[in-house]
Every structure is written in C-alpha cells, then in structure tokens.
Amino acid sequence: MIARTPVGGGRVKSCDATAARKLPGVVEIVPLPRYRGLPEFQQLGGIAVCATSTWSAWQGRDALSIEWDDGPNRSYDSQAFAKELEATAARPGTSLRAAGDAQAVLEEADRVIQADYSVPHLALASMETTCAVADVQTDNSGRVTNCHILAATQNPQAVQEAVGRAMRMRGEDVLVNVTLLGSGFGRKSKPDYCVEAARLSRELKRPVHVTWTREDDPRHDYFHAISDIHCEGVLNDEG
C-alpha cells in the first residue's frame, strides 16, 4: 500500500513511521520519489508500506504520520476554475474556420435556442482497482537485468515503455503478462501503478504486489478534463 501525495505535484515533507513499523506483518517502509518533469505515467510519489498481507500494509499505511508539501497546485480550486470556464465560454471567441455569416443568422432569426453544458473532473472509476506484481532483478552494480510485470492492464506496450524508462532499460526487454480485467474504462491503459511496483521490487530485491484501495482510485485517478460549452442555434419554419 502506498500513501500518495494528496495534491498532484506534491511531495513528502516529513514522515514518522515508528507506529507503522511496530505492526505485525509490516516488512519495510519505502519512500517513493515524486515524478520528474511531466507526470505522464510515472509514480506520484509518497511512502510505501510493504507487508506480508494487504491488510497489514493497509493498517501500516494508516499508521504513518506524514506531513505533505502540497507544492504549486495547492491553491487549485476546481469550482473556481469551473466559474472561469463558464465566463470564458460566454465571451465571443476567436473564429478558426468560417462558413457563412453565423452572427447575422442569429440576429435575424425569429427563434434562437441557447444551451450551456458543463462537465466536471470525472474519474475513470474502473470496477476493479488497479494492481500489479513486479519482479525486478539486478546485478551487483544495481543495474536491472530482468523485469517481469504481471498486471491488469489495457496497454502492455505502455507498461513496457513506462517501466523500461523507470528501470533504465529498453521497453522491449520488460516482460509483461496481462491478467483478466475487472473492467478498465481507460484507467488501466495508464501504467503508473506498474511503475510503482517495479520501483519497489527493485528496492526490496523481491517480487512486490502493489494494489490500490477503492478510496485510492478516485483520489489519484487520471481525470477527464473539466469543460464548459455554450451553444446557440436557430430554427425557422422548416426546422
């Protein structure tokens, strides 16, 4: 189980894992660095609790005392941004392609139909939470010599590319076995959870199973973009 930054782009400021280490089944506490550059499909970063069972790892994660540095996105307010989008959609825009005189048609019409549509940030919300098993082996210098990923993924090629980059090896050399999916809805085409598993396996020098809780999924999903659209159309006697 991994305690991930609650704000995209944030990082761990401090962590007291004393209580977590005392719990039965907890094997190791491993810091995960924040992504570098663009997030893409890299790990968000945080603190991983590795244990002999999912329940022990979950309890260990809950026992962590973490102070977060939320970073530059701390002030982001989705409701305020939605209002900005609404105001922007109401203003005249820049025409990229014109065919006829739409403005004249609107002004001369007897009946104008207007509608506004908005969509918030929406999680993909797959029915089965993301999970992956990684077995990463290294030589004495720490160079990865073998990387095997077992994952519920919709895009094994993306797993190879993302994990290969994180392990500093060719993507084609990453072996990916695809399990059955408990739905995907596009979420499992994004292999950040596979990168998490690979990093932890390399650190612990043993196979590692990373699983997300149901609460983790909407908190750290790849959300659909928020949007606001203003539409206008006219009707005449012929429709």
The pLDDT value given to residue 110: 87
Closest C-alpha among 131, 129, 1 to residue 55? 1
> pTM of the entire structure?
0.91
Tell me the HSE value of 136 on the side-chain side, using a 13 A CA sphere: 28
The pLDDT value given to residue 238: 76
Helix axis angle for 156-167 and 192-204, nearest 10°, is 40
The pLDDT value given to residue 235: 87
19-54: b (≥16 Cβ within 10 Å) or e: ebeeeeebebbbebebbeeeeebbbbbbbbbbbeee
- The angle formed by the CA atoms of residues 5, 164 and 57, to the nearest 5 degrees, is 40
Tell me the helices (H) and strands (E) count for the chain, helix number first.
7, 11
Distance separating alpha carbons of residues 165 and 194, to the nearest angstrom: 12
DSSP 191: T
Closest C-alpha among 119, 121, 147, 120 to residue 133? 147
pLDDT in 10s for each residue of the chain, 239 residues: 999 999 999 999 999 999 999 999 999 999 999 999 999 999 999 999 999 999 999 999 999 999 999 999 999 999 999 999 999 999 988 889 889 998 898 899 989 999 999 999 999 999 999 999 999 999 999 999 999 999 999 999 999 999 999 999 999 999 999 999 988 999 999 999 999 999 999 999 999 999 999 999 999 999 999 999 999 999 877 76
The pLDDT value given to residue 193: 97
Domains of the chain: 1-73 (3.90.1170.50)
Tell me the HSE value of 9 on the side-chain side, using a 13 A CA sphere: 8
The separation between CA 175 and the C-alpha centre of its own chain, rounded to angstroms, equals 23
The pLDDT value given to residue 216: 97
